[in-house]
Chains A and B, each alone.
Chain A
Amino acid sequence: MEVIAFFAGAIGALGGAIAVIALRNPFYSVLALVVHLVSLAGLFLMLHAEFIAAAQIVVYAGAVMVLYVFVAAYVGGIEEPIWEPIPGQRLLAPLLVGALFAELSIAVLGTALSSLDTEGPTVQIGFGSPGQIGRLFLERFLVVFEASSMLLLVAAVGAIVLAGRRRDDDASATGRGHEAEAA
């Protein structure tokens, strides 16, 4: 039972990932990523990380992906030219990436980490529950908690500054648009 669930989740995740990098239309890539994230949430559930799985669906697949969808809609499709200006990139990239995967796999499978070949210790009931996570955040990882909130604030401010409309920008944009229409 568990095996089937694992493979379903794995196939979903892999398929989504390959689709992200292979599809031409960025909008389709965004959607593929959503599929990937949901599959991953399933896998998280199997690892007794319920809260993380929920956060993944709600925050990641929910809020962050919606952000991506909006921007993809705003920006639109991009024509990716066929020709590759960097010599050797198309050849080396798959090779290196394959090498990377091979090394990581060897590291995982070939090491003497004894606990890898097991499921791990039996966990108590509250493992991965929001209560446990919350307690950890407020007791052991308080500084981390506070720092991440600071980070979120900074990111929000930064985003507004970056993408905010400027008076002259808007005027020139409309002005040029009018000229393009007239010409």
Chain B
Amino acid sequence: MDVSWYLVLSALLFAIGAGGVLIRRSPLVILLCLELMLNAGNLALLAFSRANGNEDGQVFALVVMVVAACEVVVGLGLIVAMFRRRLPLNVDDMRELRG
């Protein structure tokens, strides 16, 4: 397959993930959509790595995975903390920073 197929697929997945972040209100689902976007990026990285014959892209993708894992851990910790304090799990309700 042409590498460009993978890249277009990656772009599509990225766009879907971005749409999910904008539309959904639950913080958990927003984090899931963020995962979508990260994975789309991984796919693109690997596609380029294959196209250049270079394994640097794969190492980068692995590190992205590490970072995603850390971010998920912290994000879920936040959600758990919010739930503990009985805050509504709705990003629209957290608007103290309005101008």
Contacts and interface: CB of A to CB of B under 8 A. Distances in A.
Interface of A: 2-3, 6, 10, 13-14, 17-18, 20-21, 26, 29-30, 33, 36-37, 40, 43-44, 46-49, 51-52, 55-56, 59-60, 63-64, 67-68, 71-72, 74-75, 78, 80-81, 85-86, 89-90, 93-94, 96-98, 100-101, 104-105, 108-109, 115-121, 123, 127-128, 132-133, 136-137, 140-141, 144, 148, 151-152, 154-156, 158-163, 169, 173
B66 A152 contact: yes
Q: DSSP class of A's interface residues: helix, strand, loop or mixed?
A: helix
25 contacts: A2-B1, A20-B32, A21-B17, A21-B23, A21-B36, A26-B32, A40-B42, A60-B39, A60-B68, A60-B69, A68-B32, A68-B72, A71-B76, A78-B25, A80-B24, A80-B90, A90-B23, A93-B22, A104-B14, A116-B2, A119-B50, A151-B66, A152-B69, A156-B73, A163-B81
Contacts, number: 234
